[in-house]
Amino acid sequence: MAAPKKKNINLLVQEGFEHTPLGKALNWLLSAGRVIVVLTQLVVIAAFLSRFWLDRQLTDLNEENTLRKVQIEALGSFESNFRQTQKRLAVYKELDTVKTDAGGIVKEVASLLPAGVSLSSISVSDEKLILDGIALSEQGLAGFIKALEGTAQFQSPTLTEVSLETTGQQVIKFSIRAVLTGNEERNQDGNKS
């Protein structure tokens, strides 16, 4: 049997090895690898340190957003009050442009009342007049309706309810509706005085 041949392994680098292409490549890889490792560690350290700064900024932004949210919620009630006030002012302006001289209308109606007719309520709106009252006789009620028809201020007075009541004496309970005319003339007269 033949004895196996022994191979010698030399782990020591030969002296001219660093000048060979393989040696130069290995030398470059080792030095570049160190630089890459160092740069990677620097990036990791910079990212780790910047995390504290970014966390602080995030916390500040969250606090600022919370503060602004509270301010907006606090101003929400002011805004709703402001909008309600604007709506009220708009309604008031609208009503102000269409003024009805209720005092003049009441005086006019009172001057037309005959004896034996009295009113329990007078409702005046922009274009409507509603009169509720009692009359002692049919003639007094008919005279009152004729007087309303004779004026230019009240158009088409209509007897809407009539009932006969006996409370000690017999009276006629009535309700009259009429359309108001000449709002513009009354407004101009009211503005002149």
pLDDT in tens, 112-151: 888 888 898 888 877 888 899 988 888 888 888 898 888 8
pLDDT digits (tens, 9 = 90+) for 89-117: 988 887 666 566 777 888 888 888 888 88
* Local confidence band at 185 (pLDDT 50, 70, 90 cut-offs): very low
Residue 6 CA to chain centroid, in angstroms? 98
Its pTM surpasses 0.85: no
Question: What is the residue extent of each domain of the chain?
Answer: 23-97, 102-192
Q: Measured between alpha carbons, how far is 143 from 134 in angstroms, rounded to an integer? A: 13
**Does residue 186 surpass a pLDDT of 60?**
no
What is the dotted CATH code of the domain comprising 102-192?
A: 3.30.70.2830
What is the radius of gyration, based on Cα positions, of the chain? 51
> Does the CA dihedral 152-155-161-164 come out positive or negative?
positive
- Quote the CA–CA distance of 44 and 50 in Å, as a whole number: 10
Exposed e or buried b per residue across 44-71, where buried means at least 16 C-beta atoms within 10 angstroms of its C-beta = eeeeeeeeeeeeeeeeeeeeeeeeeeee
